[in-house]
Amino acid sequence: MFSYQKRLLFPVYVEHPDEKTAALFLEHFKGKDSELDTFARYMVFRLHVDNPVVRDLFGMIGAEELSHMEMIGVAVKKLGISELSYHNSPESWTAAKDQDEPEVYQMLQTIQISEERSKKSYLKLLGITTDTYLKKMLRFLINREEIHQRLIEKTMNLIEENGGNEQFSSLIHEYKMSLRVVK
């Protein structure tokens, strides 16, 4: 399912090392609402989805979340923290609390909350850092989280409206087109 490319989704540069800023970024690398946590959530949820288009969308966005994690990790290293590790509890990776078969709509709501947290975290970092290059990267990540939110919202609406296959398939097209416009 995955293929690795050496090229980052967006180039990561820093003006100068800054371990204080690196520590703030590190939280998004391995904290509670980290990109790896979000990736795992998408992958676990996709196992519970019958709709093949929604399942594919979860896989594609999940894979992108891994690329966001890599970008954050590169930024942390360039800012001056050379030792990166990842320790997180998989308890947050379960599909839903105390449910055997979570409903797709509940999963989408959980993902929507996760994407919003990521966006807020990036906005906070954007307000803290003075590094021009990091600001560009953060704006890119904020934009990507907004795209994910919009696609999840559209998916929720299609589920509520009992949308057809063609409508669901348009989500995949929209996602792929959003990747072509990398600023």
Domain CATH code at residue 27: 1.20.1260.10
**Least confidently predicted of 2-16, 53-67, 119-133:** 2-16
Give the pLDDT band of residue 181 (cuts 50, 70, 90). Answer: low
Give the mean pLDDT of 101-110.
84
Is pLDDT at 62 greater than 70 in this prediction? Answer: yes
Residue 2 within a domain: no
Residue 60 within a domain: yes
Per-residue pLDDT at 92: 45
Per-residue pLDDT at 86: 62
Number of domains in the chain: 1
Give the mean pLDDT of 35-45.
92
Give the mean pLDDT of 89-98.
45
Residue 165 within a domain: yes
Contact (Cβ atoms closer than 8 angstroms) between residue 60 and residue 175: yes
Cβ-based neighbours of 80, under 8 Å, separated by 6 or more: 17, 18, 19, 22
Per-residue pLDDT at 97: 44
Task: List the Cα angle 20/23/24 in 5-degree steps.
Answer: 95
Per-residue pLDDT at 89: 47
Residue 74 within a domain: yes
Give the mean pLDDT of 152-164.
94
Give the pLDDT band of residue 30 (cuts 50, 70, 90). Answer: confident
Give the mean pLDDT of 22-49.
89
Rounded Cα distance between 104 and 101, Å, is 9
pTM of the model: 0.89
Residue 72 within a domain: yes
Residue 7 within a domain: no
Q: What is the mean pLDDT of the chain?
A: 88
Is pLDDT at 93 greater than 50 in this prediction? Answer: no
> What is the maximum span of the chain, computed from C-alpha positions, in angstroms?
52
Give the mean pLDDT of 104-120.
92
Residue range(s) defining the domain that contains residue 111: 19-180
Give the mean pLDDT of 67-73.
94
Give the pLDDT band of residue 1 (cuts 50, 70, 90). Answer: low
CB neighbour burial string for 69-105, b if at least 16 within 10 angstroms, e if fewer: bbbbbbbbbbbebeeeeeeeeeebbebbeeeeebebe
Residue 55 within a domain: yes
